[in-house]
Amino acid sequence: MTGFSKFMAAVGLVAATTAVPSGQAPAAAPVKPVTFTKDVAPILQRSCQNCHRPDQVGPMSLMSYEDARPYARSIKAKTTARLMPPWHIERNIGIQKFKDDPSLTDDEVATIAAWVDQGAPKGDVKDMPAPRKFDDDDIWHIGKPDLIVEIPQNHVVPAAGPDVFIDYIADSGLTEDRYVQAVETKPGPGARTVMHHLLTYLIQDVDDGEKLVGIDDVRAGSTETFLNEYAVGKNGDILPEGTGKLMKAGAKVRFNIHYHSSGRETADRSRVALKFYPKGYKPKYHQISLQIAHADNQLDLPAGVVSRSDGYYRFDKPVHVTAIQAHMHNLGKRMCLEAILPTNTTLQLNCMGWDFNWHKVYNYADDVSPLLPAGTVLHSILWHDNTKANRANPDPRNWRGYGQRTIDEMAFAWITWSNLDEADFKAMVAERQKRNSN
């Protein structure tokens, strides 16, 4: 539980006890019967079964009553503490609409708790919803890929050994130029346990005439374009309409991998899946995805305390921010992001908890993704917990600072955005205002 949710739980507790005047029994609220088949199964289908079914990351299946019943108490505990499903956006601050948000409403959490408190009854089988269909394609969160590129050979990670940083370059086999619309990178089947991180880049020569707006702002003169990142529990990137990445015939893909031995010899065949825009469609903007607002170089994390660090990044053009993510290591606790506008007003974007097991990208819903004017400064505020209370802390007796190894720390925001021209920016802002005033 994060310190914040502990605090909220404590507040909740106080409110609940003071609500009942002393010496008086609480009025018995009418109990609404809650059953698995009618009330709980639909929640599990929507928010849990993606991971909790055979051969997925979840440690047990939650497909049927018989699967779920033995875990009833644990299910109540994890959902009430909002540890499951993994989704760490704080619900009381900032923007609240995201794509593919599996998190539970307060009512759903209460329904699960009531079900468990009532003895976790099954209910009438006739109430059971039709099973949710998962096919193999569903393993890719971006939908059915048009192209999958793999590293050229299996990489075998020994049971024990130092961390390995390695680059593999693979031919994409693409025979015509296409624009990337969605991308997802991940380790080969069974290799999640050895993967610390995995980044993919496109290597290709792009002529000036072919460039999408925005690309030069980021990597002038480079033949490489960042594609996507995998980290434990991460989903994928779906690019907003009108934004893409050119992938040319014959392009190569560079896989930058950090392996971490897990105690068992493991073979990996990492891969990246790509979905393209229809042939003939050319997006206008290049999608930028960068690690920015770094606080890395000032990380100073004394033993036994929670430390705050701040990072800043100035957007020189008007921008459309479509996804946010934090990056820290084991001591990471929380990140907040705010936009300091050129008028010096501050716009709260979001706060999110951090758990090293779950590197999640949060994709804003289209009607709320921030549109920020040129000159906006993104401010990241990051907290690291170097105390004993942080159960992920490998050694609370020692100072820590920035470094590449898993036991070192990092602190930055990973932001996906496109740089807009002034005319498009104004038009998008006007359209947004019109829609919101209706």
Contact residues toward ligand HEC (CB under 6 A) are 47-48, 50-52, 57-59, 71, 74-75, 78-79, 84-86, 102, 104, 233, 357
84 or 251: whose CB is closer to ligand HEC?
84
* Shortest distance (Å) from residue 230 CB to ligand HEC: 14
10 or 57: whose CB is closer to ligand HEC?
57
Looking at residue 387, the DSSP 8-state letter turns out to be: S
CB atoms within 10 A of CB 114: 16
State both tokens at 200.
Answer: 């993919």
* Shortest distance (Å) from residue 346 CB to ligand HEC: 32
Amino acid at 128: M
Looking at residue 128, the DSSP 8-state letter turns out to be: P
Give the rounded distance of the alpha carbon of 62 from its chain centre: 22
Exposure class string for 253-276: b at 16+ Cβ within 10 A, else e: bbbebbbbbbeeebebebbbbbbb
* Shortest distance (Å) from residue 48 CB to ligand HEC: 3
The candidate with the shortest Cα–Cα distance to 234, out of 401, 87, 108, 42, is 87
Which distant-in-sequence residues (6+ apart) come within 8 Å of 294 by Cβ?
Answer: 311, 313, 411, 412
* Shortest distance (Å) from residue 74 CB to ligand HEC: 4
Confirm if 329 and 408 have CB atoms less than 8 A apart: yes
Confirm if 346 and 288 have CB atoms less than 8 A apart: no
102 or 158: whose CB is closer to ligand HEC?
102
Confirm if 327 and 382 have CB atoms less than 8 A apart: no
Looking at residue 140, the DSSP 8-state letter turns out to be: S
* Shortest distance (Å) from residue 19 CB to ligand HEC: 28
CA gyration radius for the chain? 24
59 or 278: whose CB is closer to ligand HEC?
59
User: Strands of 377-385's sheet, edge to edge?
Assistant: 306-314, 377-385, 332-340, 346-353
* Shortest distance (Å) from residue 239 CB to ligand HEC: 22
* Shortest distance (Å) from residue 210 CB to ligand HEC: 37
* Shortest distance (Å) from residue 97 CB to ligand HEC: 19
193 or 256: whose CB is closer to ligand HEC?
193
CB atoms within 10 A of CB 173: 12
48 or 182: whose CB is closer to ligand HEC?
48
Give the rounded distance of the alpha carbon of 359 from its chain centre: 5
58 or 375: whose CB is closer to ligand HEC?
58
What whole-number distance in Å separates Cα of residue 200 and Cα of residue 147? 14
Interior angle at CA 243, CA 237 and CA 247, nearest 5: 75
6 or 69: whose CB is closer to ligand HEC?
69
* Shortest distance (Å) from residue 67 CB to ligand HEC: 11
State both tokens at 215.
Answer: 């690309």
* Shortest distance (Å) from residue 110 CB to ligand HEC: 13
Interior angle at CA 263, CA 258 and CA 265, nearest 5: 75
75 or 420: whose CB is closer to ligand HEC?
75
Confirm if 183 and 275 have CB atoms less than 8 A apart: yes
52 or 334: whose CB is closer to ligand HEC?
52
* Shortest distance (Å) from residue 132 CB to ligand HEC: 13
Looking at residue 36, the DSSP 8-state letter turns out to be: I
78 or 284: whose CB is closer to ligand HEC?
78
